Amino acid sequence: MMEICPKEQCASCYACLNACPTASIQLQEDERGCLYPVVNQSSCIDCGLCQKVCPVCQPPTLHSCKESYIAYAANHREQQTAASGGLAAVLSRHVVRHGGVVYGASAVDAFNVQHVRVDKEADLEQLKGSKYVHSKIGVLLKTLKEDLQAGRDVIFVGTPCQVAGVRGFLRKDYPNFFALDLVCHGVPPQKVLNSAIAYYCGDETSRVKSVRFRRKEEGQHSIYGLYCDDAGGQLVYGDDHPQQHYALGFMAAMFYRPNCHTCPYACPDRVGDITLGDFWDRDGKAALPAQKTDGISMLIVNTERGKKLMADVRNEIVCVEHPYTDFTRRNGQLTHPMRRHASSENFWKSFVAGGFAATESILAKHEKLVRKNILKKKIKRAIYTIPFLEKLLLMIFHKS
């Protein structure tokens, strides 16, 4: 067996590695840092199991939306400390409190973001926040299956391709399994993040113990950036988008894994029982009570199991129904994959030659463009706040 699935479609979901009965599969980095499975021919027995569990070879069933809400955690602290509305934490906490187990991404080691198993409420904090990098699953799927077989409720939170990998690996439906998938732009390989941290933190790099990609201030929408903390939670380095160029490149699809640009999960039908994403109420018109600016999410319920989980936490969240068609209209990643940035190939050439530092001029050029667009939007918004001007402009555009 040479190739499990076409390399350009592989999402590095680890399903094949976990399924292989002879431990013949390793995931190895290419020159960009993207992980791909490599089969050891001498121990492979050609059983074909890796292809049976691979979601590229056997695509999973996708579910159409059953209910859709804009929502956030009723507990303000839960909302404040999450990337968006804090719903992943509410759902995870509920499962753990009832004796279940959560599998989610932790950035407690900044240089090695990975999925971990959590069965204590105190350990849930590390799962909070979106880590804008590929999270490694390792051999965790075997443990996940053991938890399911032991009858414990299990919730897996991850990107849709990871959820597809878990479903593929399990190969049957367990009634005690709950999958939460995130609306997803794409993921950069860890090598890019590590190189960026070293570039920005310089001599202080060894002090960095954890990393964050969004920050919130009371009453404000979350801000994208890169923030590196030491072991005591003190900031070693931090800056905001767009001058922070890892965040800038991430938002611009400059350095994702190649398969993200043809992602089969960037569509309205979903692989998770529940889907979570950001809801940006930019015009301030969303019909929710207080605390809107501290982060609100799209909550999309796709299965009967998702409905049950939603009903279980109904008292712990603030939510109102919202048409799914509005979500798909607002959020591009519910209808199509992110297009590769025009300078992406240049980025990679420079990165491979000299690391993140060598890509600075490419990213600085993009920053200028982003700043221009931000300014244009601000001017537009300011114009539209003057009522008679808005009417006048609407009349002109209507006539022409």
Instruction: For residue 259, state whether it binds ligand FAD (rule: CB under 6 A).
Output: no
128's contact among ligand SF4, ligand FAD, none, with CB below 5 to 8 A by partner kind, is ligand FAD
Nearest to 51 by CA among 2, 109, 95: 2
Question: Could you identify the residue written with the tokens 């404000």?
Answer: 220
104's contact among ligand FAD, ligand SF4, none, with CB below 5 to 8 A by partner kind, is ligand FAD
276's contact among ligand SF4, ligand FAD, none, with CB below 5 to 8 A by partner kind, is ligand FAD
Residues present in the chain in total = 400
278's contact among ligand SF4, ligand FAD, none, with CB below 5 to 8 A by partner kind, is ligand FAD
Least distance in angstroms from the C-beta of 141 to ligand FAD? 14
Region at 308 (left for phi over 0; alpha for psi -120 to 50; beta for the rest)? alpha
Within its chain, how far is the Cα of 143 from the centroid?
22
Supply the DSSP symbol for 338. P
166's contact among ligand FAD, ligand SF4, none, with CB below 5 to 8 A by partner kind, is none
Cα distances (angstroms) measured from residue 90 to each of 103, 196, 205, 296, 312: 14, 32, 33, 13, 10
Nearer to ligand FAD, 105 or 309 (CB): 105
Do the strands 114-118 and 210-215 form a parallel or antiparallel pair, or are they unpaired?
unpaired
Taking every pair of C-alpha atoms in the chain, what is the biggest distance, in angstroms?
A: 76
Nearer to ligand FAD, 79 or 303 (CB): 79
188's contact among ligand SF4, ligand FAD, none, with CB below 5 to 8 A by partner kind, is none
Nearer to ligand SF4, 5 or 70 (CB): 5
Instruction: For residue 179, state whether it binds ligand FAD (rule: CB under 6 A).
Output: no
Cα distances (angstroms) measured from residue 146 to each of 123, 127, 152, 272, 310: 20, 21, 9, 20, 25
Rg (CA), the chain: 22
Q: Find all residues with CB under 8 Å of 394, minimum gap 6, and list them.
A: none
Instruction: For residue 209, state whether it binds ligand FAD (rule: CB under 6 A).
Output: no
Q: Among 33, 34, 54, 274, which residue interacts with ligand SF4 (rule: CB under 6 A)? A: 54
Handedness of CA 75, 81, 82, 85 (dihedral sign): positive
Binding mask 13-52 for ligand SF4 (x = CB under 6 A): xxxx--xx-x-xx-----------x-x----xxxxxxx--
Could you list the residues that contact ligand FAD (CB under 6 A)?
Answer: 82-89, 104-105, 127-133, 135, 157-159, 162, 182-185, 187, 276-278, 297, 331, 333
Could you list the residues that contact ligand SF4 (CB under 6 A)?
Answer: 1, 4-5, 10-16, 19-20, 22, 24-25, 37, 39, 44-50, 54-56, 159-161, 165, 184, 186-187, 259-260, 263, 265
